[in-house]
Amino acid sequence: MLPPTIGRVPPDPRKAKADYERGLNLAARGDDRGAVAAFRSAVRLDPAMSAAWRKLGDVLTRLGDAEGADSAYMSYVGSAGTDGDLIRAAHALLDEQWGAAERLLRARLRSAPTDVAAMRLLAEAYIGLDRCKDAAALMERALALAPSFAAGRHTLATALFRQSKNAEALPHLERLVAGKPRDVAYRTMLGASLALLGRYDRAIEIYEGIIADAPGHSAVRVNYGNALRQAGRRDDAVRAYRACLDIAPAVGEAYWNLANLKTEAFSADDIAAMRQALAGGDVAVRDRVYLHYALGHALEQSGEYAGSFAHYAEGAKLRRGQITYSAEAATDQVRRAASLFTPAFFAARADYGCADPAPIFIVGMPRAGSTLIEQILSSHSAVEGTRELPEIGNIVADLAGGQAAYPACLAGLDRDALAAVGERYIERTRVYRRTDRRFFIDKNPTNWAHVGLIHLILPHARIIDARRAPMASCFAAFKQYFVNGMAFSYDLTELGRYYNDYVALMAHFETALPGRIYRVLYEDMVDHTDAEIRRLLDYCELPFEAGCLRFWETRRAVVTPSSEQVRRPIFRESVAQWRHYAEWLGALEAVLRSTGGGEGRSELATDEHG
């Protein structure tokens, strides 16, 4: 980025400093063109004078020379590596001292608000603090000043990716890869974003290109296996995970993904290898979590339930230590929702929202049968299955950033505003659709907490509550490692409280919105499949199609842990599965019994089917 003349001018730091001071004085008097000449002279004499590069960028920005400003700011970034403040902040980031880095960098930006290098480091601190929205806003500002700032663009893409805003991250990643086609980090994130958008063929192609260039890159093989699994190429996925373990035997994620297929049997050698990896002192916590969950599954397969539960519990304990979650805050949100969403509140807004009937929401607990329902409905010629879409969560995050807390802020939205939010949902989810079918499914289970919002913005959308017996439902969630979200599932007491909150709010909506939500009991779907499928189609106002009864024959991408199970007929292989662990689930049972454990067919003792 440095002008070619710089290398031919003998360095003169003393004269450079004088030119820099002269540039500051000229800029203060409004003589921007004179200031540009002075700052250019300073950096010719001392190319490492980072402050002069930054000030040159500021003045060129004021003069409207965006290309020149971009070049100056990038030269600033290249020369800022010796800056003491930035070095201290970078060390804090390396030590994951996010708060300390934030304090240093915020102080820096108060005195130098256009310091794009400091902006990027602060954005990295925000990502570490799980403030990805703040990180993205900061990097958008930095890139407005310096569009060529590739490292900053990567940080922006990371912040968007972490918010599940993959469609927004995609153009930034495409630009980065276009600039550096062989960069593994850029290509890996591009592949991950494409896979999350359902573009598996291109993601697989990208991963295969990375593997060809860097065959020893084990992490890419895990992503490659995931994309293959989601695309329905199970055997190829197994080979990808096994190839990863051949390269790096302690990669816990590869073992867990094999376990997560639900159909892959672990050998005695696999179990010994996982135990050996856990015995190693240099295994990262992340890998240890995955290894414990994979071992829990392997021992469950062989009927060693005490050892299996011990590994599930240890994995959950380690994972719980990595995340922030408050059961009290979750319960408080449910109380606030029930207080706001009264029959009168909905009656006053009876004709509000976007009239599009396309979405079918499947909500409830994770591992409660939502993927089965999605597969059945997606076997209908009028319905497209997508995935667990993040858009309702993104809408909630945006609304919560306003003056009033969510959901109270919804009371201040008029007819047009609610319709606009519904239209935004329809528009933002279009990127996940691959067909022109009339309806599509959003099966994000946590949307149960936002049924009131969904009804207000999309009053003609279908809402299906996927319900499973409490102990079966909660234990299925407890023994599942979730890559993102589901923070409530790693402690038995918190898990029981979450289930109770879910049941309570859904019961409230049954009163406030009678007939609006259709409940599917998993046990009934297993026992009376034909009749339940017909009733489900009736609720969705879909004509009966025989293909829905043979849902396992429908070939489509499935990304949830049940991806392989829904490619087989409904099975009873794991009836009463949770009962094998009953002696260790006392804390969960106590919490569920404190409120009756649900209602109707959801009594605690109901057996688990599948």
CB contact set of 35 (below 8 Å; sequence gap of 6+): 23, 24, 26, 27, 55, 59
- Are 123 and 138 spatial neighbours (Cβ–Cβ below 8 Å)? yes
Say if residue 280 is exposed, middle or buried (CB neighbours under 10 Å; 0-12, 13-18, 19+): exposed
Half-sphere exposure for 255 (CA within 13 Å, toward CB): 29
- Are 526 and 570 spatial neighbours (Cβ–Cβ below 8 Å)? yes
Portion of the chain with pLDDT greater than 70, in percent: 92
CA distance 249 to 229: 21
Which pLDDT score is estimated for 602? 44
Q: What are the distances in angstroms from CA 190 to CA 18, 156, 167, 332, 417?
A: 46, 13, 11, 38, 34
CA distance 297 to 303: 10
- Are 526 and 376 spatial neighbours (Cβ–Cβ below 8 Å)? no
Which pLDDT score is estimated for 1? 40
How confident is residue 560, by pLDDT bands cut at 50, 70 and 90? low
Which pLDDT score is estimated for 483? 84
Give the torsion sign (CA, 182, 184, 187, 191): positive
DSSP string, 413-451: --HHHHHHHHHHHHHHTGGG--S--SEEEE--GGGGGGH
CA distance 566 to 74: 51
Q: In what order do the strands lie in the sheet with 462-467?
A: 383-387, 439-442, 359-364, 462-467, 517-521
Supply 301's token pair: 């397969």
Give the amino acid at 594: S
Supply 424's token pair: 């935004």
Which pLDDT score is estimated for 604? 55
CA distance 148 to 66: 11
Q: Which residue from 359, 540, 326, 324 is spatially nearest to 440, judged by alpha carbons?
A: 359
Coil, strand, or helix at residue 482?
Answer: coil
Q: Do domains 6-82 and 117-320 have the same CATH topology?
A: yes
Long-range contacts, 214-217 (Cβ 8 Å, 24+): 214/184, 216/247, 217/184
Q: Which residue from 510, 404, 410, 418 is spatially nearest to 467, judged by alpha carbons?
A: 510
Query: Domain 117-320: which CATH class?
Result: mainly alpha
User: Mind listing the pLDDT tens digit for each residue in 113-151?
Assistant: 999 999 999 999 999 998 999 999 999 999 999 999 999
Angle CA 607–311–372, to nearest 5: 40
Angle CA 605–501–563, to nearest 5: 70
- Are 544 and 581 spatial neighbours (Cβ–Cβ below 8 Å)? no
The H or E element that residue 363 is part of is strand 359-364
Supply 63's token pair: 């003069």
Residue whose entry in the numeric block shows the structure tokens 């609006």 = 516
The H or E element that residue 462 is part of is strand 462-467
Given a cut of 80, is residue 572 above it in pLDDT?
no
- Are 151 and 111 spatial neighbours (Cβ–Cβ below 8 Å)? no
CA distance 516 to 490: 32
361 — phi, psi (to 5°)?
Answer: -95, 130
CA distance 318 to 390: 26
Furthest-apart CA pair in the chain: how many Å? 87
Which pLDDT score is estimated for 281? 78
- Are 439 and 493 spatial neighbours (Cβ–Cβ below 8 Å)? no
Average pLDDT of the chain is 90
Q: How many CB atoms lie within 10 A of CB 3?
A: 14
Average pLDDT for 17-30: 94
User: Mind listing the pLDDT tens digit for each residue in 307-338?
Assistant: 999 999 999 999 999 888 999 999 999 999 99
- Are 152 and 146 spatial neighbours (Cβ–Cβ below 8 Å)? yes
Which residues make beta-bridge pairs with 464? 362, 518
| Domain 6-82 annotated CATH 1.25.40.10 | yes
CA distance 441 to 360: 5
- pTM exceeds 0.95 for this model: no
Domain regions of the chain by residue span: 6-82, 117-320, 333-387+434-447+454-602
Given a cut of 70, is residue 211 above it in pLDDT?
yes
Supply 22's token pair: 């002269």
- Are 81 and 50 spatial neighbours (Cβ–Cβ below 8 Å)? no
Which pLDDT score is estimated for 600? 37
The CATH number fitting domain 333-387+434-447+454-602, selected from 3.40.50.1820, 3.30.565.10, 3.40.50.300, 3.40.50.720: 3.40.50.300
Q: Which of 8-12, 69-73, 460-464 has the highest mean pLDDT?
A: 460-464
387 — phi, psi (to 5°)?
Answer: -170, -170
User: Mind listing the pLDDT tens digit for each residue in 372-418?
Assistant: 999 999 999 999 999 899 999 999 988 987 656 899 999 999 999 99
Given a cut of 80, is residue 200 above it in pLDDT?
yes
Task: Tell me if the bond preceding 249 is cis, omega within 30° of 0.
Answer: no
Residue whose entry in the numeric block shows the structure tokens 């065959």 = 215
Residue whose entry in the numeric block shows the structure tokens 């590069």 = 53
Coil, strand, or helix at residue 455?
Answer: helix
CA distance 213 to 244: 15
How confident is residue 609, by pLDDT bands cut at 50, 70 and 90? very low
CA distance 224 to 230: 10
Q: How many CB atoms lie within 10 A of CB 64?
A: 8
DSSP string, 251-287: -HHHHHHHHHTSSPPPPHHHHHHHHHHHH-TT--HHH
Given a cut of 70, is residue 605 above it in pLDDT?
no
Angle CA 340–515–437, to nearest 5: 100
CA distance 232 to 28: 64
Coil, strand, or helix at residue 466?
Answer: strand
